Amino acid sequence: MKEFKYFSPTKIIFGEGKFQEIANLLPSAKKIFVVTGKHSSKANGSLDSLKTLLKEKTLLIFDEVEENPGLETVNKGANIARKNEIELVIGLGGGSPMDAAKCIALLATNDGLMENYLNGEKNNSVPLPIIEIPTTAGTGSEVTQHAVITIGSHKKGFSNQEIFPKIAILDPMLTLSMPQNITVNTGVDALSHSIEGYLSILATQESDKVAIESIKIIKEELPKVVQDGKNIEARSHVLYASMLGGFVISRTRTIILHALGYPLTTFYRIPHGKANGAMLPWVFEFLKKGEHTNSPLQEKISSILEIFGDINKFINDLGISTKLSDYGITRDDIPRFVKDVWGRRNLEVTPKEVKQEDIENIYKKAL
């Protein structure tokens, strides 16, 4: 049996309406920094609800987190937090505000800028406690030690055991307001986490069980949510599967698929999950090439394909094109995409050697 480590320090509160119980779930902190996006938490009422539910506390709202949060944003949020003797950080929103909340919690108790820590500097002090409240069902950030920060046109992953959230409140009601495209894109992100985690060289028998469960749920339930966005039961399942995907990548990290998707997001503003979906069939094709039919990798790929039948069709039926030219991407983009992908840590855990020309060929095929 393969050896493994298991560390999941996040207390999880899952269920319809659980957000309403937040006041009873919080530690005794009085001064709280709330990190959220620019629009959706106001439009769907979740930010106002949070203010009402925590009216006994002093809340400082930082509502400047953009999609794919930038360095400047987390540094700015951290400066405000530092000046205000914050005791606790809440991230409310999708992966972007949740990731920003983690970075701000770390910077609030440590000197310097986020770039120092992205470049490998170790923090001296323990970050502030973090509570994550997802309003998308995709990143699983509420249960991981990971955050992704964008520096110009490069997305950089950051992992630190100390930014595991203390509490994750998963209330599927908060995901009801997602329009169809965001539901699909974030759901496909969750799917890619579980697929990549299943194929990662860090996968274990334990993470495999969780990954397969998550993949099966998304296959069944995501199309139901697309058909009827008010289907709370299906929304619950997708949020649950997304959390499972978070458990998986907290152990296995993500592989070449996430790496290939990043430049699509930074250069063409294709949302994160959609970018993964667009590249998914091409990654399968690359991983399958030259493998013996009974190799362990081939067997794993076959078991995913058995669940889906045609995975390309599954992605296309959700409204995601798997042809890069449909997004305006051309051959001329490939060199800068390859440069962005080459050297990423994701390649180290990909279950097959990846050469620079492989990356180029995958993009060429995907055009």
Residues lying near ligand NAP in the complex (CB under 6 A): 37-41, 44, 67-68, 93-96, 99, 135-136, 138-141, 144, 146-148, 155, 174-175, 177-178, 182, 186, 189, 249, 272-273
Question: 171 vs 189, which CB is nearer to Fe ion?
Answer: 189
**Per-residue CA distances from 34 to 53, 58, 60 (Å):** 13, 10, 6
Q: Is 327 helix (H, G, I), strand (E, B) or coil?
A: helix
Total chain residues near Fe ion (CB under 5 A): 1
Nearest approach, Cβ of residue 186 and ligand NAP (Å): 4
Nearest approach, Cβ of residue 273 and ligand NAP (Å): 6
Q: Residue 349 in contact with residue 252, Cβ under 8 Å?
A: yes
Question: 217 vs 239, which CB is nearer to ligand NAP?
Answer: 239
Question: 127 vs 273, which CB is nearer to ligand NAP?
Answer: 273
Going by the DSSP 8-state scheme, the letter that residue 70 receives in this structure is B
Q: Residue 279 in contact with residue 264, Cβ under 8 Å?
A: yes
What end-to-end distance do the CA atoms of the chain give, in Å?
A: 41
Among 132, 189, 221, 358, binds Fe ion (CB under 5 A): 189
Nearest approach, Cβ of residue 261 and ligand NAP (Å): 9
Nearest approach, Cβ of residue 350 and ligand NAP (Å): 17
Amino acid occupying residue 42: K
Nearest approach, Cβ of residue 303 and Fe ion (Å): 22
Nearest approach, Cβ of residue 296 and ligand NAP (Å): 26
Q: Which residues, at least 6 apart from 332, have a Cβ–Cβ distance to it below 8 Å? A: none
Residue 68 contact among Fe ion, ligand NAP, none, beta carbon within 5 to 8 Å by kind? ligand NAP
Token code pair at residue 338? 């390859």
Q: Map tokens 């790929």 to a residue.
A: 301
Question: 123 vs 361, which CB is nearer to ligand NAP?
Answer: 123
Instruction: Report the C-alpha gap between 171 and 235 in whole angstroms.
Output: 10
- Give all strands of the β-sheet with 11-14 in edge-to-edge order: 11-14, 167-170, 130-134, 88-93, 31-37, 58-65
**Per-residue CA distances from 296 to 232, 283, 303, 315 (Å):** 38, 17, 11, 25
> Taking contact as CB under 5 A, which single stretch among the options 26-34, 64-72, 189-197, 335-343 is the one that binds Fe ion?
189-197
Question: 189 vs 208, which CB is nearer to Fe ion?
Answer: 189
Residue sitting closest to Fe ion (CB): 189
Question: 262 vs 314, which CB is nearer to ligand NAP?
Answer: 262
Going by the DSSP 8-state scheme, the letter that residue 202 receives in this structure is T
Token code pair at residue 258? 């996430």
Nearest approach, Cβ of residue 249 and ligand NAP (Å): 6
Q: Which residue spans within the chain are E strands per DSSP?
A: 11-14, 31-37, 58-65, 88-93, 130-134, 146-151, 154-159, 167-170
Q: Does 171 bind Fe ion (CB under 5 A)?
A: no
Residue 44 contact among Fe ion, ligand NAP, none, beta carbon within 5 to 8 Å by kind? ligand NAP
C-alpha radius of gyration, the chain, whole number: 20
Report the length, in residues, of the chain: 367
Token code pair at residue 217? 């749920």
Residue 263 contact among Fe ion, ligand NAP, none, beta carbon within 5 to 8 Å by kind? none
Residue 274 contact among Fe ion, ligand NAP, none, beta carbon within 5 to 8 Å by kind? none
Q: Is 146 helix (H, G, I), strand (E, B) or coil?
A: strand
Question: 165 vs 281, which CB is nearer to ligand NAP?
Answer: 165
Nearest approach, Cβ of residue 298 and ligand NAP (Å): 27
Instruction: Report the C-alpha gap between 110 and 53 in whole angstroms.
Output: 30
> Taking contact as CB under 5 A, which single stretch among the options 28-36, 181-189, 208-216, 233-241 is the one that binds Fe ion?
181-189
Nearest approach, Cβ of residue 309 and ligand NAP (Å): 26
Interface residues toward Fe ion, by CB under 5 A: 189
